[in-house]
Structure 1
Amino acid sequence: MDETRRNFDILMEELLPRREYRDICVLVRSNGHAQLVCDWLVEKGIPVITENSLQLDRHPIVRQMVSLLKFLDYPQDDLAFLEFICGQEIFGKISNIEHETLFKWLAERDKGPLYRRFAEKYPDFWATHISPFLRKSGLMTPYDLASEMVSRFGLIETYPQDELYIRRFLEVVHLAEEKRGTSLAAFLDFWELSSAEEKVPLPESVNAVRIMTIHKSKGLEFPVIVVPFHNWSVSGPDTSLADIEIDGQTMLTPMSSALGDIYYENRTRMFSEQLNLLYVAWTRAGQELYGFLPSEKTRGVSPALAAIELILEDKFNDLGLLEYGITPEKGLEKSTLDISGASTKPSCDDFCTTETDLYPRI
């Protein structure tokens, strides 16, 4: 992993002086790898957009607004109220209460509902910012409540960079009212079931490196594609189930080699899926493709690595470097390489490696 990180940093230093952030897309197989690459880029101060970063329910302002709505629907919900007053983006911004002071008060564990204890401890803040919502919660629709939060807390003025998320949340609340009715409980039920599916549309003007899973990249194309991980192992226990017939009865059983053909057909299908992923990843690049290979044999079975080694066998020089085409720095016409070997349009295909990793550059 350290080798991949080191070479990834080198690659970014070579790419960024001549490429816009939006030109670059990093493809990974898992959300774990997506988060890892995201951390690498954030540490270097590079703006990043991931699939999760576009999810509405992951944005802190939206989460804190929902927590306040949950509290308004059921004031006895201490957890919802706690989530709101612990949020830095809304409560932390509009209150003069220091975080450490608040935590010390919370640690006292006095009896009674949390909101009542808070109202007694901080009556001015309660009267100004919470009580008005609580009095109107039964009379206002969820959309009106959310709009009032945005206005009263000055969210768009304070966080103009997050306006897209705030307005999208208001739009979702409005659409939920049309489908589910205007009660706050109905909206919260809708949000519980559907929030993970709600995303913010990506503006074309956003200049940031994209990180996405290979599966989600199907049908898309980016000028520069980076595939930092190819050691997609299919070893380990198979958690899938197979249905078998015993004495005329159909039964479900864990997948194991004792099942014979059923087991090996399933393994073959898993291997084929990896090769398909490799094909998808390597054909998303419009101009440049970079990929890393580990310097040492990885544990477990990795059909993707085996396929790459077979295709690129004996093509590396003594320095572990493989180049194809003309480097983009020379300003010559670029081209892309179809993974099947057929050149589909003018291409600039370079495969560059260090002694430890492979950078296919297309």
Structure 2
Amino acid sequence: LLRHTAFRRNEPGSVELWPLEPQPEVEPAEPWDAPQGQESAASPKARLAERIARFIKGEITSGATVWDKKQRRPARPGDFLILVRGRTGGLFDGILQALKREQIPVAGADRLQLLDSLPVQDLLNLIRFTLCPSDDLTLAEIIKGPFGVHGTAGALQWLGEDDLYALAQPREGRLWPALRAATDPRVTPLRDFLAELLTRAHKPPYEFLVHALERGHGLPRPGWELVLSRFGLPAREPVTAIIDRAAAFDADEAPSLQLFLDAIERRGGEVKRELSGPQDEVRVMTVHGAKGLEAPVVILPDMVAGPGRGGDLFVTEDGEPVWPGAKTNDITLSAKLRLDAEARDLREHRRLLYVALTRAQDRLILCSAARA
């Protein structure tokens, strides 16, 4: 006779299954108006993200408790772990945005795409302008960015569309000469800042960026303060990451602004973030990145998706590629290879599901949005 005794026999947990978030009955958007790569507020994924954010906020504010060393204590943001299958599709970003709207501390993505960060692009624009002052589009973005500022240190104001139009519309040549010739005192800080940057085109990337952020010649405040004032504290991490990337580049490569910019744009700027630390923030990450992690409350918001498909290109045991195209074109060999691939996909799907289910210490919540 075998008897199973729970390791935490007096600390009960739970598994919750939320109702499926249904598809709304709305008129389909016209192609002209339909956003690309975004979820509308009425979409099932967006509503599910809002529901998850409200649930977490309610648990924290209501004093809900979790087990901690055989005692119950109030739940904190760091007690919640949200696991998704992938970062694409709208759900991942939707959850992050919903948590931020509810003002819940969130650790952000487990992988940071530097080129998707507006503060990073603003810094790269400084390099682009320094290398090519005649690039009007880059200069226009700088004018409307965090460095296009005027006023006193205690009352900052940023240049906007009207200021850019006043510079660009009457000009006969490039935008930079028009900015240099402008008599409006509001553009003077930016003009002096950019003119000083042009004298530093020969500097290594790390020194160039640090100087722009810490000195900010001509600006009413250092560049760091302007970036944080414009984008808030979430800008600190991607900006720090691009500075670290510049320092590493200077150590390994020729210290050239052009080479650094080319490396970032060609190779991408993905940074893997460690979300297993002691920060008291909600963690949102993929199941692949959650191996070895646990949390008192784990939410799985993508439970209706089936195993992923590896495509229609197969490889035989001898290493020969087989591409039948559609399933209707299968021959005996490709049909067998397809079945083998589907079996592998199913095994991987179940393996990841097991990993996700076993991350919960006390409470597991299963939910999903209806698929279109």
Aligned-pair CA distance for 1:169: 2.8
Taking a change above 3 Å as real, the CA distance of residues 93 and 175 of structure 1, as seen in their structure-2 partners, is farther
Secondary structure (helix, strand or coil) at the match of 2:296 reads: strand
* Count of residues in Structure 1 that have an aligned counterpart in Structure 2: 291
Of 207, 213, 229, the match for 2:286? 213
Of 224, 231, 240, the match for 2:304? 231
Question: Match for residue 189 of structure 2?
Answer: 125
Q: Give the Cα separation in 1 of the matches to 2:278 and 2:261.
A: 33
Aligned-pair CA distance for 1:199: 4.9
Work out whether residues 165 and 200 of structure 1, in 8 Å CA contact, stay in contact via their aligned partners in 2. Answer: no
Aligned-pair CA distance for 1:51: 1.8
- Can you list the C-alpha shifts for 1:297-328, whole angstroms capped at 9, x where unaligned? x679xxxxxxxxxxxxxxxxxxxxxxxxxxxx
Question: Match for residue 254 of structure 1?
Answer: 325
Identity of aligned residues (%): 23
Alignment of 1:83-98 (within 5 A): 83-87=141-145, 89-92=146-149, 96=157, 98=159
Taking a change above 3 Å as real, the CA distance of residues 155 and 124 of structure 1, as seen in their structure-2 partners, is closer
Secondary structure (helix, strand or coil) at the match of 2:269 reads: helix
Q: Give the Cα separation in 2 of the matches to 1:119 and 1:33.
A: 46
Aligned-pair CA distance for 1:181: 1.1
Work out whether residues 238 and 255 of structure 1, in 8 Å CA contact, stay in contact via their aligned partners in 2. Answer: no
1:280 aligns with 2:355: yes
Aligned-pair CA distance for 1:262: 1.8
In terms of fraction of residues, the more helix-rich structure is 1
Secondary structure (helix, strand or coil) at the match of 2:343 reads: helix
Aligned-pair CA distance for 1:215: 1.7
Question: Match for residue 29 of structure 2?
Answer: none
With structure 2 as the length reference, what TM-score do the two structures score? 0.66
Alignment of 1:169-248 (within 5 A): 169-199=242-272, 204=277, 206-234=279-307, 239-243=311-315
Q: Where does the alignment leave 5 or more consecutive residues of structure 1 unmatched? A: 301-362
Alignment of 1:212-361 (within 5 A): 212-234=285-307, 239-243=311-315, 252-254=323-325, 256-259=327-330, 260-292=335-367
Secondary structure (helix, strand or coil) at the match of 2:305 reads: coil
Taking a change above 3 Å as real, the CA distance of residues 67 and 211 of structure 1, as seen in their structure-2 partners, is same
Taking a change above 3 Å as real, the CA distance of residues 70 and 9 of structure 1, as seen in their structure-2 partners, is closer
Work out whether residues 111 and 271 of structure 2, in 8 Å CA contact, stay in contact via their aligned partners in 1. Answer: no
Work out whether residues 55 and 200 of structure 1, in 8 Å CA contact, stay in contact via their aligned partners in 2. Answer: no
Q: Give the Cα separation in 1 of the matches to 2:211 and 2:359.
A: 44
1:12 aligns with 2:61: no
Secondary structure (helix, strand or coil) at the match of 2:129 reads: helix
Q: Comparing both chains, which one has the higher relative contact order based on Cα–Cα distances under 8 Å and sequence gaps of 6 or more?
A: 2
Question: Match for residue 113 of structure 1?
Answer: 174
Q: Where does the alignment leave 5 or more consecutive residues of structure 2 unmatched? A: 1-20, 22-43, 64-73, 217-221
When the two chains are superposed, the root-mean-square deviation of aligned CA atoms in Å is 3.4
What amino acid is the match of 1:135?
Answer: T
